[in-house]
Amino acid sequence: SEPLLRIRDLKVGFSSHGKTLPAVRGLDVELSKGEVLGIVGESGSGKSLGMLASLGLQARNAVVSGSVVFKGQELIGRPRRDMRALRGSEISMIFQDPLSSLNPVMTVGDQIREALLLHTKSMTKAQATARVLELLQLVAIPQPDRRINQYPHEFSGGMRQRVMIAMAIANNPELLVADEPTTALDVTVQAQIMRMLRDLKEKLGLALILITHDLGVVAGHADRVAVIYAGLVVEEAEVRELFANPRHPYTRGLIASIPKLTASKDKLYSIPGAPPMLGALPEGCAFHPRCSFAQDVCRKVAPATIELGRHRASCHFAETLPPWGESARAAQS
């Protein structure tokens, strides 16, 4: 069946001194109705940039090309006005920092009501209030009839993120894009928010895109994961397959960097080096300066994408890397 969202060869670049510096170099992802896709990469990998550009939220000086088809309609090239109407109704987004997205001098109830009325003009005030209370209940905010009249500063970070989620689902979107939704929160609250997002997905039939730098966040919550490095998807697979059998050295590094509750802090692995700066892309495989498996070919030739069933990876050695077992993991960390 037709996917809900299909992104093909999406490129985002920035003009500088007559050249276009590539930030997203050809993103390909697909999402079905009701599916959860994790998009994982370090900061600067292009993961947020690519998703935002897909939804018409690129900077004015960005050059965007490729194809983004949502429910059979091409979004690239649509007027900003159309994209605004689509966002908040059929597609919603939540971001890392709810405090900066909420209005500090407006009650939480009024802000959710405003989000509702932006897309549903025919609602009475009483209907809107009833819907706001229902939404606060959906995101498990206790005592909604008291909370509805409070201001954002009266909410904890986790509760504020719930308010943002209530606003995001107010108009029954089919797709929710969450960009680092739990990064600012402590671990316990993170887990609660992730569980709640998953419950909402089940209840409302939402498709969910989780953008995060933390592969650990998607482990228990995504159906599929796309790993992004230097503006390209370098590996994509179903979540269990990705963790059991990672075929790209970068993914292996990310898995080895996930903090484990049992490991002491000083033993935590981190991938050496840093992702390339915009306009300073290494030749060949962009990951080669940081890759412990790199060979001469990697410094010269960009790897093609190898498809192994529903698992794809862009590494010259995707099929010949040593198996990923306890010993490989230990060697890495």
The Cα–Cα gap between 276 and 286 comes to: 8
Interacting positions 5-34 with ligand SF4 (CB under 6 A): none
Select the residue interacting with ligand SF4 from 47, 147, 288, 312 (CB under 6 A): 288
Determine contact, residues 78/57, Cβ cutoff 8 Å: no
- For ligand SF4, the closer of residues 31 and 285 by Cβ is 285
Select from ligand SF4, Mg ion, none the partner in contact with residue 92, using the beta carbon and a kind-dependent cut-off of 5 to 8 Å. Answer: none
The torsion angle over the Cα atoms of residues 192, 197, 199 and 203, rounded to 10 degrees, is: 150
Task: Tell me whether residue 299 or residue 310 sits nearer to ligand SF4 (CB atom).
Answer: 299
Q: Which of 193, 237, 285, 311 binds ligand SF4 (CB under 6 A)?
A: 285
252 binds ligand SF4 (CB under 6 A): no
Residue 144: closest CA among 157, 153, 131, 156: 131
Piece of 68-76, 91-99, 159-167, 285-293 that binds ligand SF4 (CB under 6 A): 285-293
Tell whether residue 48 is a contact of Mg ion (CB under 5 A): yes
DSSP 16-67: ETTEEEEEEEEEEEEE-TT-EEEEE--TTSSHHHHHHHHTT---TTEEEEEE
Cβ distance to Mg ion smaller for residue 48 or 190: 48
For residue 295, the 8-state DSSP code is -
Phi, psi torsion values for 324, nearest 5 degrees? -95, 95
Query: Which one of Mg ion, ligand SF4, none interacts with residue 249, CB within 5 to 8 A by kind?
Result: ligand SF4
Strand partners, 68: 7
Nearer to ligand SF4, 95 or 287 (CB): 287
48 binds, among Mg ion, ligand SF4, none (CB under 5 to 8 A by kind): Mg ion
Pair of tokens at residue 226: 């796309």
Sole window of 48-56, 133-141, 290-298, 307-315 interacting with Mg ion (rule: CB under 5 A): 48-56
Instruction: State yes or no: residue 316 binds ligand SF4 (CB under 6 A).
Output: yes
CB 148 within 8 A of CB 132: yes
Q: Give contact residues for ligand SF4 (rule: CB under 6 A).
A: 248-249, 285, 287-288, 291, 293-294, 298, 303, 315-317
